[in-house]
Amino acid sequence: MYDTVEFCSARRHGMLKICEYCKYMRDIDVRGALRDRLSLEHASEGDQTRIVEELGIYGEVRVDVAVLNGMMIGYELKSDRDTLKRLPKQVEWYSKVLDRAHIVVAENHLNEALEIVPDWWGCTVATSGKNGIVCLHDEREGRQNLGVDGKTLALLLWRAEALIALEERGLDRGYRSKTRGAMAQRLAEALPLKELRDLVRETLKFREGWRSTPLTA
């Protein structure tokens, strides 16, 4: 464990305070506090950082909040009212594509969550502070993921994006009419993992017409 960092968030009109009629923190409470914290941390980076909510990875597996800058960092949120039933599957798929992963968890789930997530995952505890304000306490610092899977990572690209990537590298011959899966496999086999990670991250960062928020200073 490293030195604890605490962040408490309270927007105007109490939007991030826990509802006075609710006994437990909800996903929206934790999500709002995390978004405020990330916005402050990356405020000076402008369009070099993008925050994406509900980043789809595989089927119904989605990263609750992802930060795209020099790395692809994912945050999985578990509030008081959540269960950890889906966490093992989420860990499996997060670990295939993210450079770093972080679980933000209510105190009642902390011990069980730490038994499930790998030791390279970071961990932050969400608590109800003074006046019901959500506070985030860093419990464990994460490390870089060394187990990224190239094809799964390449599958984050849309088909048109994958084709452009192949064309730019002279790898599109015989693949222009192929499926997205085939294109992803070709990229994974042809590119060094670092280049592929940079390609996917930068494509997602500047993708248009997507549910993401560019940060401004």
Predicted pLDDT of residue 183: 97
- Retrieve residue 148's tokens: 């990224």
Burial class for 119, CB neighbours closer than 10 Å (0-12, 13-18, 19+): exposed
For the stretch 101-147, pLDDT in tens is 999 999 999 999 999 999 999 999 998 866 778 889 999 999 999 99
* Ranges under pLDDT 70 in the chain: 1-24, 129-130, 210-217
Among 211, 215, 214, which residue's Cα sits nearest to residue 64? 211
- Predicted TM-score (pTM) of the model is 0.84
Predicted pLDDT of residue 6: 52
Percent of the chain with pLDDT over 90: 64
CA angle 32, 35, 36 (to 5 degrees): 85
Q: Show the domains of the chain with their CATH numbers.
A: 6-140 (3.40.1350), 150-210 (no CATH)
